[in-house]
A and B are shown apart, each in its own frame.
Chain A
């Protein structure tokens, strides 16, 4: 797997936000590499740093208020080093993002057609007529019914599912190599959510895009991701192929998250929950951030941050028990 050049590579990413009162350590050392045409699902609860990681990848964190450390390379561009002008060139053509709430991500005073055409004209310098033709193709690609009419619709005239499709069309307008998706199906009804998931998977395959998909929903992550990274307190605590992480989780947090996710079978029985609440990101414990909630925690866990241990060539876990050989995961 290592011979292919990754299209996204992240090394030692740390993001801190400073306010007069406190410093929030939102991301605390994230490393990963993503090859072209692969889908990474980042699974985590609110405040785990998944959205901040995504925004760092596309350079959307407010410069001035946020402190970003580490190296982020997207399609040969070092996001943390380049100027705002260069960043504008990279966004759209190399990397694009879709958001949870299309109503706030789309501009309410321009039609969908204008918003797609604007991106194409800006990046490729084609005529507006050509850009509109491309916009129509894009709306058909994201399967919006009666696309010709919808080109002239404003976002408020569309339903939630259709707006999400339109936002995907805007994001894909300049054929980015990497698509970032920040909970794009969370605000949708289940019957619409599955349509968007199936569409995204189909487009990803057809266009050969790499996708980073952030979600809090285990089911959604399972549906879209080739690999899953479970995030807790700004770190990846477990990364591996979707099947390995879901079917034989090694980190106690992953196991706890899966056990507390309600699934059909165990009706009315008490759930096996993770005690306590997620840590305060302004004052993280020095050791493993999950140790205060972990039933297996020992003194060593509270003392120092566990490094990543490789359980298999493609499965890494930040847990001392794994290092001590207390958990051995059978290859599925």
Chain B
């Protein structure tokens, strides 16, 4: 089956300039050679700690920042200048919901206008756009009679995030990227918005890319999960298998760092020490080696490649490739 979205070798390095001549002093390797596919109708979760490149990946997919290398194909058509799908076409197919529900709405527009804005600039008549906005308000559980003419500051965080979801749906996209979309909400509201996301996914036949630092939420909503560390993919596969039996040492550490939720079985030791290193000049070879308990010489010399196993799971670790030079391989 052809994937809805195919990403190959996605790379973005941000130069840090400074000094009197504004020369490049360092490079932030935000996203480095990231490849994955998203099938129609599935939810791909992306997890990782701050600075691992998950949000930059989302922005690259949306073409909100230009990419350095790599290709993005949507439904078999390449995206980019001169290619099959223009940016404008892409945005009809792919929309995004951001973390900060207030900053991502125009404070001077009534929310119905914010929702109708997309269809309007894409050529739909004003009355039809507003009618669609009212339908979408209904779909996200807000009564259009009460909410259509309100301004963002008159709504609660959960209601505003519903508006953002409605706006993302206004162009009838097939894929929605949710970048920490429920992270700023209180738990009881987060649960309501997660339920909404499950409902509209079915109703509008959507595909999701769900980015979050909250491992519980990602497990809850995703079919497959992609684990990132300092701009690289370290593990990718079905969510159940990865959570039950993580293979990459980083995935293992990440999952065992989750608070236990069971008062009788508290976490006694932190699995990792120190903070994630800076993505400016990351470690050579495997980027996790500075915090990895199993690191050996080969890990500093050779970057591991993401290797697909027979169980539908890809892992980038020398320990899992026989003949890699690692003693545990």
Residue ranges of A at the interface with B (Cβ–Cβ < 8 Å)? 45-46, 145, 159-162, 189-195, 197-198, 216-220, 222-223, 242-243, 246-247, 256-257, 259-264, 266-268, 270-275, 277-278
Whether, in the assembled complex, B266 has its beta carbon less than 8 Å from a beta carbon of chain A, the answer is yes
Binary interface encoding of chain B residues 265-276 relative to chain A, with 1 for a CB under 8 A from any of its CBs, else 0: 011111111111
B62 beta carbon closer than 8 Å to chain A:
no
Given the known A-B contacts A198-B268, A267-B239, A268-B221, are A219 and B191 also in contact in the complex, defined by CB atoms under 8 Å? no
Interface size counted on chain B using CB atoms at 8 A: 48
Q: Is the CB of A45 within 8 A of B186?
A: yes
Where the two chains meet, the residues of B that have a C-beta atom closer than 8 Å to any C-beta of A are: 49-50, 156, 158-159, 186-192, 194-195, 198-199, 213-217, 219-221, 239-240, 243, 253-254, 257-264, 266-276
Q: How far, in angstroms, from A181 to B171 measured CA to CA in the complex?
A: 46
A217 cross-chain contacts in B, Cβ below 8 A: 259
| Complex-state Cα separation, A273 to B260, whole angstroms | 22
* Chain A to chain B: the 4 pairs with minimum beta-carbon distance, closest first: A219-B259, A260-B191, A189-B49, A159-B275
Q: A46-B186, A191-B270, A268-B198 are in contact. Are A273 and B192 (CB under 8 A)?
A: yes
Contact assessment for A222 and B263 in the assembled complex, using a CB-CB cutoff below 8 Å: yes
Residues of B within 8 A of A220 (CB): 259
10 additional A-B pairs beyond A190-B257, A194-B270, beta carbons within 8 Å, are: A190-B213, A191-B272, A195-B270, A197-B259, A198-B269, A261-B191, A262-B190, A262-B217, A267-B239, A277-B158
Q: Quick one: closest A residue to B275, CB to CB?
A: A159
With A190-B213, A260-B191, A270-B198 as contacts: A195 and B273 at CB distance below 8 Å? yes
Q: Chain A residues with Cβ under 8 A from B191's Cβ?
A: 259-262, 271-274
Write the nearest CB–CB distance from A93 to chain B, whole angstroms: 30
Using Cβ atoms and an 8 Å threshold, which residues of chain B touch A256?
188
Q: Is the CB of B274 within 8 A of A257?
A: no
Q: In the bound complex, do residue B239 and residue A198 qualify as a contact, i.e. CB atoms below 8 Å apart?
A: no
Give the CA-CA distance A262 to B50 in the complex, in Å: 21
Chain A residues within 8 Å of B269, by CB: 198
* Residues in A neighbouring B199, C-beta threshold 8 A: 270
Which of A162, A246, A259 is the one whose CB lies under 8 Å from B275? A162
Contact status B190-A260, CB under 8 Å: yes
Shortest B114–chain A CB gap in Å is 21
Is the beta-carbon distance between B259 and A223 smaller than 8 angstroms? yes
In the bound complex, residues from chain B placing their C-beta under 8 Å from that of A246 are: 261, 263
CA distance A268 to B216 in the complex (A): 12
Complex Cα–Cα for A190 and B267 (A): 12
Q: Could you show 13 A-B contacts with beta carbons less than 8 Å apart? A: A189-B49, A189-B275, A189-B276, A190-B215, A195-B270, A218-B261, A257-B187, A261-B216, A262-B214, A262-B219, A267-B239, A274-B188, A277-B189
Give which listed residue, B194, B213, B215, B259, contacts A222 with CB less than 8 A.
Answer: B259
CB nearest neighbor in B for A264? B219
Tell whether, in the assembled complex, residue B264 and residue A243 are in contact, meaning their CB atoms are under 8 Å apart: yes
Residues of A within 8 A of B220 (CB): 262-264, 266-268, 271
Q: How long is the Cα–Cα vector from A262 to B191 in the complex, in angstroms?
A: 7
Contacts of A268 in B (CB 8 A): 198, 220-221
